[in-house]
Amino acid sequence: MALEEKILTANIGKKTSSDIDSAMQGGAYEALIKALTKMTPEQVLNEVKISNLKGRGGAGFPTALKWSFLPKEKKKIKYLVCNADESEPGTFKDRLIIENDPHKIIEGIIIAAYATNANAGFIYIRGEMPLGAKILEKAISQAYERHFLGKNIMGSGLDFDIFLVRGAGAYICGEETALMNSIEGKRGEPRIKPPFPASYGVYGKPSNINNVETYANVPAIIKNGGNWYANLGSKDTPGTRLFGLSGHIKKPGIYELTSDVTVRELIFNYGGGILGDKKLKAVIPGGSSVPVLTSNEIDVEMDSAGLKKVGSMPGSAGVIVMNETVCMVKALLNLIKFYEHESCGQCTPCREGTHFLRLIIEDIEKGEGKEGDLEKILSLCKNIMGRTICPLGDAAAMPCESFVKKFREEFEYHIKEKKCLPETIKMTTVF
């Protein structure tokens, strides 16, 4: 059974939680003071390493390992980047932290700066989050006032500044290297890797990039120790995660739980069950880019080991629930339209492939599907997956492949009968 530890949401719910005084009453910056006064950078890095904190942006890369890729030389200019470009469909966890507890993020970034000797940080916030940007801006200026940012922070010798950068509305800018291009004022296109950001990042300088939620976990780890964190919940992905429940669910919202919670528990124990007490049809467990689960595949834990068993992954932990009234063809069309629209257009398979996929799926949805279309979808997915510069191609192909494979009969019905399954209802939007 999952733990309901409050690490990220402890301060949330108070009226003025985004204000520095309120945050400090709740313990904000205590970890920073501890790190700066009682620990060496190596100790901080080691503590994060012990905690086994995994990145919360979707790929689940070990955070301490990522930090350790930055060059150790003090003289080298290094940047930290906080990815606040949360735009994965079904995901709304970072927004909660940004709007309600921005100091937790700032504190996490400064601790990371201390551990990695970084010179400056960038918070890249999604353009569609004006409120979040306003709150972060205020929080950063408050942190400067209290001397948590600036020159010689609290007499520790650490100089660190944070700059807030607003995006202009492109999903692809959530990809780390596209985000860096965007910070530099360039077109938001992913870069080829290698070189990786740790050697060639923002403005060509070694950079480390973490998700908002990842940084927000750091203060608690420093405060309570890496061992404490490593033993929370799942061995595979320790600590708590913010699970975002949406779709056909009675109590949608953000739930802070350890990753050993199963999909079934999430939906039925925490989410209150399926909307309208209908039958569960499908679940997308980690934001729209991950393979879909059928109602038979939900007795697995929400960590990477658990979801791997059913061919999916935890991604950004945005859980989208679909009941029996959902037409899977229409749902997939909605998804692929999104990816077609958001493909940056630089590499061929993603640019053209998402377009071709959308046209075929649209045809099937309209009742104009042809025999062989499903094979074509699968072969297109094969030609996109793993053949693009960045994971957007995979993100588009994975749901298409899993929808068609797992709900093949429904797609075939659509092609043959030229209409939706009788139990489904036409909807304008799914999510």
Partner 1 sequence: MALVLIDGKEIVVNPEETLLQAALRQNIYIPYYCYHPSLSIVGQCRMCLVKVEGAPKLLTACTTYVPELPKEKKIDGKYDMKIFTKSEEVKEAQRGVLEFLLLNHPLDCPICDQAGECQLQIYSYEYGNSRSEFRFEKLHAPKRVDLGEHIVYDAERCIKCTRCIRFCNEVTKSGELTLIKRGVHTYVDTFEGKSLNNPYSICTADICPVGALTYKEFRFKERVWFLQATNSVCPECSRNCSIRVDTYKGEIMRIVPRFNPSVNGYFMCDYGRLVSERIKNKEVREIPSLREKGILEPRMEKGFYKILLSKITRKYEPKDVAVILSGRMTNEELESFKVFSLIVFGEILGDVLYITGEKDDILVKDEKRANYCGAKFFDLKFTKANENIKNIIKGKKLVISIREDIFKGIKEEQVKEILSSVEIFVVMDAFFTETAKMSNFYIPLASWFEMEGTTFNYDAHLQKISKCVSPPKGRKPFYDVVSLMLNLLTEMEIKDFETAKEKEIESVKKVLDTFKERDVMKGGFVPWFKEVKNAIPQLKNISLKDLAPLGFSAKGKKDGDN
Stretch that binds partner 1, among 85-93, 245-253, 379-387, 404-412 (CB under 8 A): 379-387
**Nearer residue to partner 1 within complex by CB, 120 or 347:** 347
Q: Which of 359, 418, 423, 427 binds partner 1 (CB under 8 A)?
A: 359
Identify which of 229, 233, 205, 232 has the alpha carbon closest to the alpha carbon of residue 219. Answer: 229
How far from chain centre, in Å, is Cα 427?
Answer: 27
**The one segment of 47-55, 127-135, 255-263, 375-383 that binds partner 1 by CB under 8 A:** 375-383
Q: Which of 72, 386, 416, 425 binds partner 1 (CB under 8 A)?
A: 386
| Longest CA–CA separation in the chain, Å | 73
Q: With 0-12 CB in 10 A as exposed, 13-18 as middle and 19+ as buried, what is 11?
A: buried
Please report how close the Cβ of residue 82 comes to partner 1 at its closest, in angstroms.
24
With contacts defined by CB under 8 A, name the span among 41-49, 160-168, 186-194, 275-283 that binds partner 1: 186-194
Long-range contacts of 153-160 (CB under 8 A, 24+ apart): 153/36, 153/110, 154/33, 154/36, 154/37, 156/36, 156/37, 156/114, 158/36, 158/110, 158/113, 158/114, 159/119, 160/110, 160/113, 160/114, 160/118, 160/119, 160/120, 160/121
Q: Catalogue the E-assigned strands of 12-90.
A: 79-84
Using DSSP's 3-state secondary structure scheme, residue 301 falls into strand
Judged by beta carbon, residue 9 or residue 288, the one nearer partner 1 is 288
Give whichever of 178 and 232 is closer to partner 1, judged by the CB atom. 178
Q: Is 366 in the site for partner 1 (CB under 8 A)?
A: no
The 8-class DSSP code of residue 309 comes to T
Q: How far is the CB of 345 from partner 1 (least distance, A)?
A: 3
Distance, in Å, from the CA atom of 373 to the CA atom of 256, rounded to the nearest integer, reads 41
Binding mask 157-176 for partner 1 (x = CB under 8 A): -------------x-x----
Other C-beta atoms closer than 10 Å to the C-beta of 199 total: 14
CB 51, CB 62: distance < 8 Å: no
Q: Which is nearer to partner 1, 204 or 225 (CB)?
A: 204
Q: Is 186 helix (H, G, I), strand (E, B) or coil?
A: coil
CA-CA distance, 353 to 348, in Å (whole number)?
Answer: 8
* CB closer to partner 1, 52 vs 346: 346
Least separation in angstroms between residue 280's CB and partner 1 is: 33
* Smallest separation (angstroms) from partner 1 to the CB of 354: 7
Considering only residues 337 through 356, tell me which ones interact with partner 1, judged by CB under 8 A: 340-349, 351-356
Site for partner 1 in 47-86 (CB under 8 A): none
When binding is defined by CB under 8 A, the residue of 46, 117, 269, 383 that contacts partner 1 is 383
Per CB under 8 A, residues contacting partner 1 are 170, 172, 187, 189, 192, 194, 340-349, 351-356, 359, 363, 370, 376, 380, 382-383, 386-389
